Chain A
Amino acid sequence: MNVVPPALARLIADLNRLPGIGRKTATRLALHIMRRPASEAQSLARDLAELHGAIRLCANCFAFSETDPCAICRDSERDSRLVCVVEEPADLMAIEKTGAFKGKYHILHGVLSPMDGIGPEELKVEALVERVRRQRVVEVLVATSSTVPGEATAAYLIKRLQEEGGVTVTRLACGIPMGMDIKYADELTLSRAIESRKDTRG
């Protein structure tokens, strides 16, 4: 006997496919949507339906955006001679939240991962090189993660851009996180922190 009506079962199965949502959470969410007014469900359905039609990739920086070029690329207040390279859109959001960066972005959409068949051609690398050449970029800040694939991707980009020439390539610093006791930092991080130490004279 099937106690769950098919329409509800379908919704549970759909929600279940989302990351971090198991069957129980999916059931809870589905029942919640069921209990709320129909207009809320319709608004959710509309947002979902319009998502793929409305969002596209910015042709300049490859961020998700409703407009092309995106709001950041159009912003004349921002310095277009400074480009920050990140792995994915979520990294852009993290850097934007700090408010410390006033340049523009370039999103690679992945990292170099030979085992998964992802090489430089699968990422937006040539588009970056082309952009640096065309738009007279002065500095490229490579802000990929400090994981092994992120570092390897950074190494590749730095080499590629230096071959091209005419641009300063910088790398996001790597060191002791705020609030961490030096005693508990691993050797690699600590030695990196020492290498990238800063002159305090301002």
Chain B
Amino acid sequence: MHGLFHQPLPPGQNLAVVLQVRDHGESDKIVTLYTRGLGKLASIAKGAKRSKKRFVNKLEPFSLLNVQLATSRSSSLMRLDEAELLAPYPALRQEYPQYLAATLLCELVLHWTREHDSDAELFDLLTWALSGLASGGEGRRTIAFFHIKLLEILGYRPSFDGCLDCGMLSAQKAPYRFSPLRNGLVCNSCEPAFSANSLPISMQTVQLLRKAQDLAQDKLERLRFSKGALLETLALLRRYDSHLLQRELQSWNFLC
């Protein structure tokens, strides 16, 4: 399937992941897609709620599609003319934990990207994470890896190389805290007072995060997180989300 990503597609066609589907009126659906060539976009699928032919079972969250889109003169919504289902990822609907994790991935892409701002690398990361989840990948691990790489692709990579003030990273300076405001770590001797927004983080987690940032996407599976480190990582990423996006992503509530 990955071979498909590198073939040029006919004009008007696009690889897309369905992020969100909303009913619109009596018979239409508004489908938010993350496309490989055009980035995130909202499209209208006319007659999708009623038609038994064209879109049945295709416009479902997480599905990988090959879509035919057209711009509309009267509205900013694109018109979804046709969709070919490439991967429905059935496991993401048959297991509740996988469904939760996949929903968070989509919610992250929904809020971290802008409309019509395409990024093929991010698209590939999303399909990598979804297919990993669909083949039984552990939800929290997949989210952590996906999120770390997402921040890197979007240019929001937090720094775990040492304290932002003294530059040191050593056990003597522990405990370290992560400051979402300053996008990195501060050590106990530079900033001993606890600030409301920062999160304590163990040395073990710092080291794992650094490794995760340096490893290539396809080698991330080798990294082993202890349960504690994983929970710490997710808490950090969640705090970082709410700080940078200035909103709470709902799906986090069901995961941690």
Q: Do A and B come from one complex?
A: yes
B26 to A19, Cβ gap below 8 A? yes
Which residue numbers of B lie inside 8 Å of A, CB to CB?
20, 25-26, 52-53, 56-58, 60-62, 85, 88, 90, 92-96, 99-100, 103-104, 106-107, 110, 250-251, 253-254
Smallest Cβ-Cβ distance to B255: which chain A residue:
A114
* Neighbouring A residues of B254 by C-beta, 8 Å: 114, 119
B61 to A148, Cβ gap below 8 A? yes
Which residue numbers of A lie inside 8 Å of B, CB to CB?
19-20, 112-117, 119, 146-149, 151-152, 155-156, 159, 177, 180, 184, 186-189
Q: With the chains together, A156 CA to B253 CA distance in Å?
A: 17
B92 to A148, Cβ gap below 8 A? yes
Q: With the chains together, A119 CA to B251 CA distance in Å?
A: 9
Q: With the chains together, A148 CA to B94 CA distance in Å?
A: 8
Q: How far is the CB of B248 from chain A (nearest CB, A)?
A: 9
**Given A114-B103, A117-B253, A152-B99: A188 in contact with B26 (beta carbons within 8 A):** no
- A188's contact among B90, B96, B253, by CB below 8 Å, is which? B90
* Neighbouring A residues of B250 by C-beta, 8 Å: 114-117
Smallest Cβ-Cβ distance to A151: which chain B residue:
B93
Q: How far is the CB of A86 from chain B (nearest CB, A)?
A: 18
Q: With the chains together, A119 CA to B106 CA distance in Å?
A: 17
B60 to A152, Cβ gap below 8 A? no
A186 to B85, Cβ gap below 8 A? yes
27 A–B contact pairs at CB < 8 A?
A: A19-B26, A20-B25, A114-B99, A114-B100, A114-B254, A115-B20, A115-B106, A115-B107, A115-B250, A115-B251, A116-B250, A117-B250, A119-B253, A147-B60, A148-B61, A148-B62, A148-B99, A152-B92, A152-B93, A152-B95, A152-B99, A159-B96, A177-B52, A180-B52, A186-B56, A188-B57, A189-B57
